[in-house]
Amino acid sequence: MLLLLSFYVSYSIHLVKNALKATNLLNIFDKKDYIARNICQRMFLRELISVVFPNYCSGCGCVLMRKEAFLCVFCRNQLPETRFHSFLNNPLMKKFYGRCDLYGATSLLYFHKEGVVQKLIHQLKYKGNEQIGAWLGSWLGEKLSDEAVFRQTQVVVPVPLHPEKERLRGYNQVALFGKQLAQKLQAEYVDDVLVKIRANTSQTRKNLFQRVVNSQNIFSVKNPEKIMHKRVLLVDDLITTGATVESCYRELTQEEGVKMGVVSMAYANKED
């Protein structure tokens, strides 16, 4: 095995030398041979690691190609974008009519049971793949930075987890999502304003009324001076009935001069 590795590295260096000779850089190469050797070793190790420990598509489970991230090309093309950001009176905004006076509301993707988006969010929340949040945040942030409504955002606030749940998981799944959005919108990311003071049961399989009851009196605001008289964008992973958003809205808008908007990674358009 060692002999094979040595041959691979030596042969790779030979190929690089021939390429450099063609561009009259051989003298530089000879003086810094260790650099070329190091580059070849890194290239080989990267290829070896990708074979022994491949990355798999979060959607279909196939082995990802080198430049693919999180999803294969096929699953990436299956992602159902909502495009809500391009029109104000979108289905998500309408969901909150009579409940929350929002300056804007959008979601990046539609959520369908057993679909690619559900699998992607599952990887983010339960499999430690936190970078999925950063990817989705950067993607959505690029879109929102072109929209006047969202460019007015001054502060980005994540829906918090209960401290014990965050400790067990190791992170808040919307943290990197929110940070990327804040960066793209040139806003401040603040995660010490909205806090979860009571752990509630899972919202899964609850109807709208049950979700509203389950979400009551579970959030609180501290450091209110950080959001007073500002446009605050609340970020979440999935919006279904909107009960969690409504609960956060009640707390945040109690502070003087706060205007709230909301964005999420995904939107389930059926209240099931």
CB neighbour list of residue 72: distance below 8 Å, 6 or more residues apart: 57, 59, 60, 62, 64, 65
Asked if 42 and 117 sit in the same domain, the reply is no
H/E stretch holding 234 reads strand 231-239
CATH number at residue 96: 3.40.50.2020
pLDDT of residue 270: 63
Predicted model pTM: 0.77
Residues 14 and 94 in one domain: no
Place 204 in a pLDDT band, splitting at 50, 70 and 90.
low
Q: Decide if 60 is inside a domain.
A: no
Residues 92 and 35 in one domain: no
Q: How many domains does the chain have?
A: 2
What domain range includes position 48? 2-52
Within this chain, do residues 129 and 256 fall inside the same structural domain, yes or no?
A: yes
| pLDDT score recorded for residue 4 | 43
Nearest alpha-carbon partner for 233 in 110, 147, 164 = 147
Residue 85 per-residue DSSP state: G
Looking at the fold, whether 139 and 254 belong to one and the same domain comes out as yes
For residues 204 and 164, the answer to whether their CB atoms sit within 8 Å is no
- What's the pLDDT at 66? 74
- Contact predicate 172/133, CB 8 Å: no
Are the beta carbons of 190 and 156 closer than 8 angstroms?
Answer: yes
Cβ-Cβ contacts under 8 Å for 27 (sequence gap 6 or more): none
Q: Among 25-34, 102-111, 165-174, 194-203, which is the least confidently predicted range? A: 25-34
Q: Is residue 75 part of a domain?
A: no
